[in-house]
Structure 1
Amino acid sequence: MNHHQLESALDHLEHVLARISGTDHIPLSYWRKRVDDVSAAARIPTQKNRARRLDAALSALESRGGA
């Protein structure tokens, strides 16, 4: 994943994760894979920080029983 693709993926996930719930039609497992992929691709500190925030937000959704 190049820098532009990673930034786009981070932007998209930040937008989506702020609006979803555990009962949406797309399962949280799909979003977990996406977050894990961007986390693995993050190279610079700002990307890593954004990926950590996404992971924390998704973990909070998963812990509410929506996984």
Structure 2
Amino acid sequence: MANQIRITPEQMRSRAGEYRNEAEVVNGVILKMDQLLGALQGEWEGAASESYAARYAELKPGFLKA
């Protein structure tokens, strides 16, 4: 049973399209988070704000990579 393909080429194309669509949704969410962070930084100053922005910047590559 190992190494068997149990999906048709058309089903594979369909799945790829679904993944592509969901990737676009995720990218949209990340863009919105970037915009919200930018707005927040205009309203929130200090060490906590800087720490929050730094933490987001640290986590963001993982969002993009996934």
TM-score by length of 2: 0.42
For CA contacts below 8 A with separation 6 or more, give which structure has more relative contact order.
Answer: 1
TM-score by length of 1: 0.42
Larger helix fraction of residues: 2
